[in-house]
Amino acid sequence: MYIRNYILSSSVVEQSAVNRLVVGSSPTWGVLYNFRNMNNNLDTLKIGEKFFNSRLMLGTGKYKTSIDAIASIEKSECEIVTVAVRRLPIDLKNDTTNFLSDLDWQKLWLLPNTAGSQTAEEAIRMAFLGHELACQMGQEDNFFVKLEVISDPKYLLPDPIGTLKAAEFLVKKGFTVLPYINADPMLALHLEDLGCATVMPLGSPIGSGQGLNNLANIQIIIENATVPVIVDAGIGTPSEATKAMELGADGILLNTAIAQSKIPAQMASAINLGVKAGRLGYLAGRMEKKYYAQASSPFQQISKIL
């Protein structure tokens, strides 16, 4: 397997992410490609200073039972679990009503999210509370936050202005910011310039299960980003997760597709396999499309019938 290793040529003038796109260049502008062999079938995902083996991240809401939630997290083989800070008790570690205390936080990384925040100020407050909760789980060095600023109660679409404002503040305070955004290529580049660790464009409205309705814009984001692109929201099936990964997405975050399925743990396993298949296919490199048929069998050196 191969992955791209970017090497800047000496004649390249450093550009911001936005300027790189504005001047009409590709993400490889001034960049020479080298390909290095991978020792393993699957490469690791780096977010901030942390490395993860799994590229699937799970939410923790909407499960019918806590047993379903725990089993799904285990079957998914995910390493990042996101939780809405507003839903958590103040004393998370000693709480007996929430299944989160039953998870193995030596193997999992908590990703607090600011869901329910309608303004940048609310999201910033939730981010700091999220860090305090991570500390309760023994992750004192965890400054990760999934940034959500959603002022629209009907369609639940992210507020780009509020997201930018909160992201700039949190990055300066040392947070590893993973912003949830509309599939807006320019917004993604602005957030990258601010120092966000990833960008997380939605595939379709959250909880809708409509799949990858914003495929063209997601592809543009992937092509121009130099930070991981995590497709978040709207994915409903393993094949949709595979499609996103085949495009070059670095990871998938989802919740409803598993929590609301008939057999959540089985769906978690299926989506895990879909994410892995998509990543392997992307790394392997797709065959070139042709506009005409081409026989699989050669015309020469074919055994003759005597």
CA atoms 27, 32, 33, 34: torsion sign? negative
Q: Provide the residue-wise pLDDT of the chain in tens; the chain has 306 residues.
A: 334 444 344 344 456 766 666 555 544 433 333 333 344 567 899 999 999 999 999 999 889 999 999 999 999 999 999 999 987 766 666 666 677 888 889 999 999 999 999 999 999 999 999 999 999 889 999 999 999 999 988 888 999 999 999 999 999 999 999 999 999 999 999 999 999 999 999 988 888 888 889 899 999 999 999 999 999 988 999 999 999 999 999 999 999 999 999 999 999 999 999 999 999 999 999 888 888 888 777 666 666 655
* Contact (Cβ atoms closer than 8 angstroms) between residue 111 and residue 84: no
End-to-end CA distance of the chain: 43
202: tokens are 């939605």
Is residue 75 among the annotated active site residues? no
* Contact (Cβ atoms closer than 8 angstroms) between residue 189 and residue 157: no
E strand spans, 30-119: 31-37, 45-47, 50-52, 56-59, 80-84, 109-113
> What is the DSSP code string of 146-160?
EE-----TTT----H
128: tokens are 């700091």
Torsion (CA) 16, 19, 21, 26 in degrees, nearest 10? -70
283: tokens are 């790394």
281: tokens are 């296919």
Q: Please give the DSSP secondary-structure letter assigned to residue 199.
A: B
Indicate the SS3 state at residue 117: coil
Q: Name the helix (H) or strand (E) containing 5.
A: strand 2-8
Helices (H), the chain: 17-22, 66-76, 120-136, 160-172, 185-194, 215-224, 238-247, 256-259, 264-284
Residue 112, CA distances (Å) to 19, 115, 136, 179, 187 in order: 32, 9, 12, 12, 22
The catalytic residue among 46, 62, 64, 146 is 146
